[in-house]
Structures are given as C-alpha cells and as structure tokens.
Amino acid sequence: MSVATNAFLDMLAAERGAAANTLAAYRRDLDGAEEAIGDLASVSREDVARLSAVWSGLAPSTVQRKSSALRQFFGFALEENWRMDDPSGALPKPAARRPLPKVLSHDEIERLFSTAEDEAASDRPAAVRMLALLELLYGSGLRATELVSLPLAAVPRDAPFVTVMGKGGQARMVPVSERAREALSRWLKVRQETDSKFLFPSRSKYLSRVRLFQMLKELAVRADISPERISPHVLRHAFATHLLEGGADLRVLQTLLGHADIATTQIYTHVDAARLVALVNARHPLAQTRTSD
C-alpha cells in the first residue's frame, strides 16, 4: 500500500473515528485498486477508467462501495497535495443502486402485533418474549444484533431509554415506548432465573440472530403474512418509514437509527413521493403566501 493511501487511512481513524472493521474494508478496496492500476497517488484518469473492466463481474453494490472508497481517497489526496487533480470522474458508475428493503404496510404490522399479543395472553415465556422482541424491533428500530445482545442492565427503569451499542462500538440512547416497557416488564416476570447478564439469554450466550429470524417468520405465518416479507431488517425499515410518514425529522431519524452519515438514512428510508409533494405544497413559505393572497 502506498504512503498516500496509508495517510488516508490514518486520517479516517484519527479524524473520523472509523472503526477497525471500517478501516479494514477501506484498506481492502484501496489495496485491490492499487494492485489493478498502480499507486493511487499518481495514476492517470485513463488508469482509473480501466477499473470498469476490472470490476465488470462484481455486483453493482460492490462497485458502488469500491468507487465510494476511491472517491473519498482522491478528495483527500487533492486536499493534502498528494495529487494535483481529481480523477474520480472516471470511476465506474454502477448500473443500479441497491434495492430498498421490503416495506410492511400498517395493516400487516397490526396483524403481526395482534397475533403476538393474543399469544402472549397465555403468559407462556416464549410468547411473551416474542412480543417483547417485536416491540423493540418495530418500536425502537434496533438492529438484530443490537437487540439479541442487549444486556439485562439495559432494561429501562425510570428513564424511557435504553443504551444500545451499535456498529463500530458507538453507543446511542434509543427511546422505548410505554408498550415496549410493559412488554419487557412482562418478560422479566416469566424469564427463567439464570446467571446470564443478557436480556434474552440462551444456552450458548444469548438468543442468536438466526433464531430471531426463524421466530419472526414463524410468527408471520401465524399472522397470515408471507414469511419472505419479514425479517428484523424489514421491521427496522418499517420503523423508519412509518416515523418519516408521520412527520419525523430526517436528522432525528438518523440519530435513532444510529447512522453516522445522513446519506445512509436518505437511502434507507422510503417515502411516498405523493406525500413529499403534499408536504412541499403545505409547508413551503411561498405556498403559504399564495394561500394567504
């Protein structure tokens, strides 16, 4: 790896606080590009254009990620005088962006919760646990790993928040609804006594992500919803989409989801175009001026 690319990685670690996994991913992408076309601090625009052929067999999402890494490097190199030009315009442009996650309708969410609540009425531990998991997935937008690895100490007592350890070891405060707090309280009453420090323990350590996937799909079948339409990520996306539809600010949503970059939130959320048009017509100052005239 060249001196310039090492300097770029050092900057990511020092100034942006990039996690080890993030740095490793950038290193792999930059290493691969340098193996293909040479030192990124001195390659020409024509060299960069050759990456289209080198990456031709890769998925569009992978090309997009690699191009993003190089684009950031070239911007850094220009600012730090490693280069006198920015050849990023010659980077491959993926044919399509990654598809948005599947979206559950409000009716499907209601059916899912209705089924879970009916089953939890029996106070069977497995059913009560399922309801608590569902409330936290949809009510707080937690990632699957964040949810299953919650420590027992994370259960809110006085404050309606739970501290979650997200990607890159970044902690964030996530609000917990009254419904979710009630479901957690019910779960703690039937949770088997154990020395485990985790909220959702299992024989190995804590409930696995794979088992969470299975439980959700089984619940979907009982709620007359196609199991292919549901996963922890789909519920997280539904949380974001439905909040945005309800008028939540995008920056607030970014914080709730634990996204480091607002661009990730913009890609992740799916908003009805008609609702956006109606919002502009109703809220834009000029629209209000015309109405008052």
User: What is the residue extent of each domain of the chain?
Assistant: 3-90, 106-274
For residue 240, pLDDT over 80 is answered with yes
| Catalytic annotation present for 270 | no
Q: Which of 66, 143, 191, 237 is catalytic?
A: 143
Distance CA 244, CA 252 (A): 10
Cα 81 from Cα 232, distance rounded (Å): 45
Residue in 181, 186, 191, 236 annotated catalytic: 236
pLDDT of residue 96: 54
129-133, 209-213, 267-271: which has the minimum mean pLDDT?
A: 267-271
What's 172's DSSP letter? E
| Identified catalytic residue from 26, 138, 206, 268 | 268
Tokens (6 digits) for 247: 């008028």
Angle at 34 between CA 33 and CA 39, to 5 degrees: 135
> In the beta sheet, which residues pair with residue 165?
171
290 is catalytic: no
pLDDT above 90 for 237: no
Give 28's pLDDT tier (boundaries 50, 70, 90). Answer: very high
Whether the per-residue pLDDT at 1 is higher than 80: the answer is no
Task: Please say if 268 is a catalytic residue.
Answer: yes
Q: What is the mean pLDDT of the chain?
A: 85
CA angle centred on 253, ends 71 and 234, rounded to 5°: 85
**Alpha-carbon gap, residue 167 to 87, rounded angstroms:** 31
Instruction: Give catalytic status of residue 181 as yes or no.
Output: no
143 is catalytic: yes
pLDDT tier, 249 (very low <50, low <70, confident <90, very high otherwise):
confident
pLDDT (mean) for 44-59 = 92
Q: Tally the C-alpha atoms within 13 A of residue 50's C-alpha that lie toward its C-beta.
A: 12
Looking at per-residue confidence, does 98 or 183 come out higher? 183
**pLDDT band at 291; cut points 50, 70, 90:** very low
At 170, list the tokens. 């970044």
Q: Which of 52, 45, 39 is nearest to 1 (CA)?
A: 39
For range 57-84, the mean pLDDT: 91
DSSP summary character for residue 163: E
- How is domain 106-274 classified at the CATH fold level? hpI Integrase; Chain A (1.10.443)
Active-site residue, from 27, 71, 167, 270 = 167
- Cα 163 to Cα 39, 192, 236, 255: the distances in Å are 43, 23, 17, 13
Domain 3-90 in CATH: superfamily?
A: Tyrosine recombinase, N-terminal domain (1.10.150.130)
What pLDDT score was predicted for residue 100? Answer: 57
Q: Does the annotation mark 259 as catalytic?
A: yes
Same fold, 3-90 and 106-274: no
Note the pLDDT tens digit of each residue in 146-205: 999 999 888 877 668 787 877 767 777 788 888 888 999 999 999 988 888 999 998 878
Rg of the chain over all Cα atoms, to the nearest angstrom: 23
Determine the pLDDT at residue 247.
77
For residue 166, the tally of other CB atoms under 10 A from its CB is 17
Confidence check: pLDDT of 266 > 80: no
Distance between CA atoms of residues 123 and 135, nearest Å: 16
Least confident of 47-56, 165-174, 213-222: 165-174
**Of 17 and 55, more confident:** 55
Task: State which of 74-78, 177-181, 236-240 shows the largest mean pLDDT.
Answer: 74-78
Whole-structure pTM over 0.85, yes or no? no
**pLDDT for residue 122 is more than 80:** yes
Question: How far from the centroid of its chain's Cα atoms is residue 11's Cα?
Answer: 24
